[in-house]
Structure 1
């Protein structure tokens, strides 16, 4: 119990709080130190993200495809074309086009009563609508001892209750002993036709045995085989379960790898399959489809008749040829035929210098953004009088005042940072150094219109003479590409993008060693270890503060008790003097 000023009349609570404020001053310095470390860590990581993005962009700039973009034009909308970066420049004339057609197969007639059949309901439950759908398989349930408590027996295939034996016999485990039983189908055991299960009304205990029996079932496995351009088989297996609908079966076929679109037409009562790829995609027997016997042929009426697809015929640069598909490639140019075309279309392939220009311009702009951000962070003013705010200080300020204060408190945390300034210097020197051993006409960026700003306040930003850069790309695109992508044994013989990728990567590693990343724990980087040390000191100091506060209260409590005793003694003396008179 804490006694607060009952005897002395002093405001002990306020006195202790004021005393603890003085005691907490070192603690405030520790929390401020922790906050500064966290802000510094976050600043490092923010810059590291920018560096990582630029390193990834530098990798893209080392790839040939960045500088070898192709521009394709066609004189007729009935033909389209796309060129890869390896396609050669040139032109192609396409004429006398007859498109490839896709193979298809349809039911030879109405498969069932259109008015009664529902394609969204179980096919099996509507089997009476398929004339003469009969069993074609005899199966045997082997029987034997049940391993665990169960309430059903799983049968194979599609099973009709009328094709089952009338009784199921076996021995049932009751209180540790076997008792023979004979169950009547429909009374003691029922058939769930959707799942193919014989369900017992009372589950059988482990150890019970079922005697084997023979039953008749219907075909449930269906197969379709198609062929690719090389004649290789593409086989799909489909299972007709008791709950599967016609629409579900069609969807399963269409999403399988056999390359077929299948649908059931409720209006005509027919099923149709069409190859997704056009062309004469046939097997050794000259057919595009191989359909399994049974349900597909007997009841869905998919016989061997089909509309075989045809290859595309056309003239390329005056030479008649055929293609199995409407899409094909010539020397890295992918051509797509869209319509029959007796007239002529011209396809022209040229270098797309504008895309190369755009890629280089974007790269330089991202570099300028990066060095500007780093320069700003390493040259910010330091406001030593603005320390991180304590909780009590925050309570007395508005949100706007807090924001303005912290803006100054965060300023200059990375001023003249050695990692960042060193990394910035390496990036700048990479731009200035010519490419040793260049095989083209250009060996430095100034020759293609990329120069350093003459204004020292720009911090080494690059300027682009867009007209000169475009002229260089048109004049010698290979030499421009070499400036950025060249491989070499040392820094001077490497292209600019490769140099920057390596130097930026080294800076990233140094920053991660100091400030870590989201995947590292505090023990794995310098600032993290400093934070752990500060947290430990804060925890220790907090315990000391609690002990001091308790000591203050003990002292004031003792004082209150002493004053109370003194007051009591004074009252007793006064009373005695008064009574003695």
Structure 2
């Protein structure tokens, strides 16, 4: 109960317990405030529960529907049924994707794919290049402007260098201009200045050009050179006695071109031999992605192993079903009418454990028949099965038969395993290949409900505790104003009652004084 600031005295003259009497007179107003606060607490709980569901859905989305997650189900390699082994993983490794067949090959890596690169250790006059070397010391006599083009496109901003610049500041200017497409560097260990593209292969080209696109000589004072591989009349790389491709370093003529890899692949029995010429050191053939790291030889073998894919699907189904079970219980559990949020006065007479047990009961049923939660379950059910009931049933996924498990998935592990072993690509196509697949449909439905500030659940409860523009937050604002108004009215009535009792006390004091006077007379 609120109180006015003036000093309040009990009924000294009247003998009445004014504090108790006023408290009893204000019981009706206090009850209104308690009810308003209970309603406010119910709204807070509803919002908190909504945000718990939002977090749960976001977590499962990030874990299973993000391409960067190790548990992602929308990547092709999540449906890989091959376990591939390399005899030397420092040379080459491989990962199967959906539909990949067994492999048993020998890889002889003769050359890696390389980016276009220009380098220099000494300038055009033979002076050693150092990190703190001023460009004027290396031959630059005046300011120069140039750009770096990749594949004929003008990808960079104009770069201006001055005689007072150093190799270190030149590196920074180039890197700031190109945004990661080109990397300039200087090695204190080798004493080498380098500019190279981030893209490998013979179709990758790096040019230093003027503002008009013509070849520039702006950096020629550095004595830049580029690696040029020797090829025969048919365009094949020429190898030396060590099996590695021959190359020479030529003075940079304004542009540099990358080169492809040379990898000989053969079967163990020698019945198959092929030379790969790839633009990247990571490439995919027959649904197997290979990553090549250095020259040398390694044997690549595989065996069928569906367990990782099955285990990942099992985990997804279990976590998804937990969310659906949680939502279903929220919309069907009955409200415990005997358990309302506790008032501050009630909490004073209870232990923390008693309060916790009470509030657990009080939260039950506060989202019973919530329309948004029900639609979420229905929409998720449609997004999974829709018109794919038959094919999913073949693969071991069905809608749960138990009516108390509405919206949940039943997984027949043996059927799902057999489907992967028989045709993993077919399973991948049904689940994750394109926008019409099951998982993409589920992902879109989740986005509809928790994808951003305009999503359905966000409009109802806000995505985070700081979100204010949503249904529950607006209700809480109105309820806070209502509590404020009720509290002010009670305070005004309290003050009025104390003033009236004060007048009664004053009158009684006068009456007592007169009685004493007459008695003495």
TM-score (norm: length of structure 1): 0.61
Partner of 1:435: 388
Find the residue that maps to 2:186 and give its secondary structure.
strand
Which structure 2 residues correspond to residues 127-206 of structure 1 after superposition, within 5 A?
none
Match for 2:503 among 540, 558, 578? Answer: 558
Is residue 36 of structure 1 aligned with residue 48 of structure 2? no
Deviations 1:49-106 (A, max 9, x none): 4345567757989957376547554454454255685886475654361456765321
Deviations 1:204-255 (A, max 9, x none): xxxxxxxxxxxxxx634476x7775x5778877353475x655444555566
Q: Is the Cα–Cα contact under 8 Å of residues 104 and 308 in structure 1 kept in the other structure?
A: no
Partner of 2:13: 7
Which structure 2 residues correspond to residues 374-413 of structure 1 after superposition, within 5 A?
374-380=327-333, 382-413=335-366
Unpaired segments ≥5 residues, structure 1:
137-217, 437-442, 489-493
Is residue 259 of structure 1 aligned with residue 183 of structure 2? yes
- Deviates further, 410-419 or 319-328: 319-328
The Cα of 1:415 is off from its aligned counterpart by 3.4
Cα separation, partners in 2 of 1:321 and 1:353, compared to 1, 3 Å:
closer
Find the residue that maps to 2:26 and give its secondary structure.
helix
Q: Is the Cα–Cα contact under 8 Å of residues 400 and 408 in structure 2 kept in the other structure?
A: yes
> How many aligned residue pairs are there?
452
Which structure 2 residues correspond to residues 193-232 of structure 1 after superposition, within 5 A?
219-221=142-144, 230=151
Cα separation, partners in 2 of 1:484 and 1:306, compared to 1, 3 Å:
closer
Q: Is the Cα–Cα contact under 8 Å of residues 45 and 515 in structure 1 kept in the other structure?
A: yes
Q: Is the Cα–Cα contact under 8 Å of residues 109 and 294 in structure 2 kept in the other structure?
A: no
Q: Is the Cα–Cα contact under 8 Å of residues 175 and 183 in structure 2 kept in the other structure?
A: yes
Find the residue that maps to 2:341 and give its secondary structure.
coil
Q: Is the Cα–Cα contact under 8 Å of residues 66 and 356 in structure 1 kept in the other structure?
A: no
Partner of 2:119: 104
Match for 1:80 among 92, 99, 102? Answer: 92
Which structure 2 residues correspond to residues 33-72 of structure 1 after superposition, within 5 A?
33-51=39-57, 63=74, 65=76, 69=80, 71=82, 72=84
The Cα of 1:558 is off from its aligned counterpart by 1.0
Is residue 373 of structure 1 aligned with residue 299 of structure 2? no
Q: Is the Cα–Cα contact under 8 Å of residues 149 and 155 in structure 2 kept in the other structure?
A: yes
Larger radius of gyration: 1
CA distance in 1, matches of 2:100, 2:90: 23
Find the residue that maps to 1:476 and give its secondary structure.
helix
Unpaired segments ≥5 residues, structure 2:
1-5, 209-214, 230-246, 248-258, 267-272
Is residue 24 of structure 1 aligned with residue 30 of structure 2? yes
CA distance in 2, matches of 1:332, 1:361: 24
Find the residue that maps to 1:477 and give its secondary structure.
helix
The Cα of 1:564 is off from its aligned counterpart by 1.7
Cα separation, partners in 2 of 1:464 and 1:336, compared to 1, 3 Å:
closer
Higher strand share: 1
Find the residue that maps to 2:193 and give its secondary structure.
strand
Q: Is the Cα–Cα contact under 8 Å of residues 226 and 290 in structure 1 kept in the other structure?
A: no
Q: Is the Cα–Cα contact under 8 Å of residues 484 and 495 in structure 1 kept in the other structure?
A: yes
CA distance in 2, matches of 1:514, 1:232: 48
CA distance in 1, matches of 2:109, 2:65: 46
CA distance in 2, matches of 1:335, 1:468: 31
Deviations 1:152-186 (A, max 9, x none): xxxxxxxxxxxxxxxxxxxxxxxxxxxxxxxxxxx
CA distance in 2, matches of 1:283, 1:55: 41
Match for 1:237 among 155, 159, 170? Answer: 159
The Cα of 1:555 is off from its aligned counterpart by 0.9
